Amino acid sequence: MKSPVNPLPNRTEISQLGEFGLIDYLTKNIRLQNSTSLKGVGDDAAVIAADNRQTLVSVDVLIEGVHFDLSYTPLKHLGYKAVAVNISDIAAMNGKAEQIVVGIGLSNRFPVEAIEEIYEGMMLACKRYQVDLVGGDTTSSHSGLFISVTVIGKAKQEEICYRGGASVGDLLCVSGDLGAAYMGLLLLEREKAAFKANPDMQPDLEGYDYILERQLKPEPRTDVVEMLKQAGIKPTSMIDISDGLASEILHLCKASSLGCRIYEDKIPMDAATLTMAESFRIVPTVAALNGGEDYELLFTIRQTDFEKVKAISNISIIGHFTEQSGIAEMVTTDNQLIRLTAQGWDALKNSEEDKKADL
Ligand code: ADP
Ligand code: MG
């Protein structure tokens, strides 16, 4: 694992600790934070209290070479992100994540210090979002590293937001800004290519903190869930943006059998995203629509909640739902109407291809 970002000077072989020694070592500092976590690591299964709320469960698997590249992903960030994206899924249901279980596949090219870094990142996210790591499984992998995180969350039945709850006229809202995580990825890929061509070259990442953080250390928007609750707004539908705005809008449309119209000039983007897009010569809107990994929340509200949502900072109203089932359109800044597909937009696509793109 030679990498400029993961140098790991000390090396303890996993075999020195053994599987159980490794588990003990990694989990010894866990302190349970939620009253629903009755039993954590240390038995054949964790025990989670059933209370008067409903249980939300989701899993995400991250595979080296597919979902992450260790040549530019610090292991601590990787651990953090693996937990953060799961918490984001629970937030998208308008719930609270309370426990995670972690499955990890390792090859002996990883020393104990590497796994420890991953766990430090995971524990940091757990602490920040008050989630308990209550169990897992540790196995050897003959190829790369994989990390599977299962999250368990809770929500009152009447609070849960599904993808399919929108009605015609509902306003489509998005938290934060979009496209930055993709710009961070492009930058890291560019520097990786430069490093490969000339290993003496130091990566030029100075001054790009925002887009790099958005890619390497996304934050689930549990604060938005909380702010909406405080404001007395229950979204009629909600999803988190993992694959890009266009794809997520289509998910909401499909689930509610409705259509949607958004306005290009309303899509929130940070100045750093715009600058980077310019230097890569890509249209910033494309980064927002197709980029993904922003982990912002995309949700609909009733028009009667308009004033309430306007009072919350960092939420943009970008469009509304229409009767045209399955059709998502964007009014561009030069006033053209363009059909959105899961890959962004393409006015020339025929309907057969549209269907495929929706899968
Ligand atoms: P079993 O053989 O019954 O599956 P294990 O030996 O795999 O049990 O696990 C023992 C305990 O350690 C369990 O509580 C399990 O959840 C926990 N555990 C195993 N691997 C990990 C890990 N990577 N991270 C956190 N907890 C783990
Ligand atoms: Mg096991």
pLDDT digit string (tens) for 322-340? 999 999 999 999 999 999 9
pLDDT at position 143, please? 83
Q: Is 100 in the pocket of ligand 1 (CB under 6 A)?
A: no
Task: Give 18 Cα–ligand 1 centroid separation in angstroms.
Answer: 13
- Structural contact between residues 36 and 154, judged by C-beta atoms closer than 8 angstroms: yes
Lowest model confidence (mean pLDDT) among 96-105, 201-210, 234-243, 299-308: 201-210
Cβ atoms of 145 and 105 within 8 Å: the answer is yes
Question: Is 184 in contact with 69 (CB distance < 8 Å)?
Answer: no
Ligand 1 lined by 21 (C-beta under 6 Å): no
Report the separation in Å between the CA atom of 298 and the middle of ligand 2, taken as the mean of its atom positions.
Answer: 36
Paired sense of beta strands 259-263 and 328-331, if any: parallel
Gap from CA of 19 to ligand 1 centroid (Å): 9
Residue 310 predicted with pLDDT over 90: yes
Degrees to nearest 5, angle at CA 321 with 315 and 324: 155
Q: Mean pLDDT, the chain, as a whole number? A: 92
- Contact between 100 and 40 (Cβ < 8 Å): no
Q: Whose CA is nearest to atom 10 of ligand 1?
A: 42
Contact 79, 130 (CB under 8 A): no
DSSP per residue, 247-308: HHHHHHHHHHT-EEEEEGGGS---HHHHHHHHHHT--HHHHHHH------EEEEE-GGGHHH
Fold classification of 17-159 (topology level): 60s Ribosomal Protein L30; Chain: A; (3.30.1330)
pLDDT, residue 202, reads 77
> If we measure between CA atoms, which residue out of 242, 262, 247 comes closest to residue 343?
247
- pLDDT-derived band at 355 (thresholds 50, 70, 90) equals very low
Residue 312, CB half-sphere, CA atoms under 13 Å: how many?
23
- Measured from the alpha carbon of residue 45, the closest ligand is 1
Rounded to an integer, what distance in angstroms lies between the CA atom of residue 18 and that of residue 7?
23
In this structure, CATH architecture of domain 171-347: Alpha-Beta Complex (3.90)
Q: Which ligand is nearest to the CA of 43?
A: 1
Tell me the whole-structure pTM to 2 decimals: 0.91
Domain ranges of the chain: 17-159, 171-347
Q: Which atom of ligand 1 is nearest to the CA of 103?
A: 23
What is d(CA 180, CA 221) in angstroms, rounded to the nearest whole number? 15
pLDDT value for 351: 42
Pocket test for ligand 1, best of 37, 41, 133 (most atoms within 8 A of CB): 41
The Å distance, Cα 100 to ligand 1 centre, comes to 12
Q: Residue whose CA is closest, atom 1 of ligand 1? A: 44
Enumerate residues 6+ apart whose C-beta is below 8 A from 87: 97, 125, 129, 131, 151, 220, 222
DSSP string covering 143-212: SS-EEEEEEEEEE-GGG---TT---TTPEEEEES--SHHHHHHHHHHHHHHHHHH-TTSPP--TT-HHHH
β-bridge mates for residue 328, sequence order: 260
Task: Count CB atoms within 10 A of the CB of residue 312.
Answer: 15
Q: Residue 352 above 80 pLDDT?
A: no
Percent of the chain whose predicted confidence (pLDDT) is above 90: 81
Ligand (nearest to CA of 20): 1
- pLDDT at residue 33 in the model: 97
